[in-house]
Amino acid sequence: MVQISLGGLWVLQDAEPEGWGYDDYPSDFAGRTGGEGIYLISGHYAGPVGVTVEVHRSAPEPPRGWEKSAELEGNYPSRVARAWCELLEVDEQLEHIELPAERVRIRVSVNGWSTPPNPGGSPETWLLQVWPAGAA
């Protein structure tokens, strides 16, 4: 689980980030953060969202049964990522995610996402599939 605060922004960021900023907006719910990870925008204002991160050696098959999906690349110089929301405690299962390369492709899938955010909506779940950029 990732706990999100007002606004719903959370990240899968390098464990030792050197910078921050938004430089890519490929979808309405995911993009790159200044070259050191990706940001995600929840369809909920605040609270817990379910997150699963799968790390693969090559591109996995696209999952079935997800309402929204986007693919992007992220750079992780330390080859370790963590999923978290600003100022909130990191779930220990998402604090140290070993990645297969510095530059990775990430497929982001989400169910239960809505806009505008709906505090009383269905539970939101995310699947992040990660593999080396350029791997088939």
Per-residue pLDDT tens for 28-86? 788 888 767 888 888 876 778 889 999 999 999 999 999 999 999 889 999 999 988 86
The mean pLDDT of 122-131, rounded to a whole number, is 90
At residue 88 the predicted structure's pLDDT band, cuts being 50, 70 and 90, is confident
Per-residue pLDDT tens for 100-117? 999 999 999 999 888 766
- In this prediction the pTM is 0.87
b/e for 97-128, b at 16 or more Cβ within 10 A?
Answer: bebebeebbbbbbbbbbeeebeeeeeebbbbb
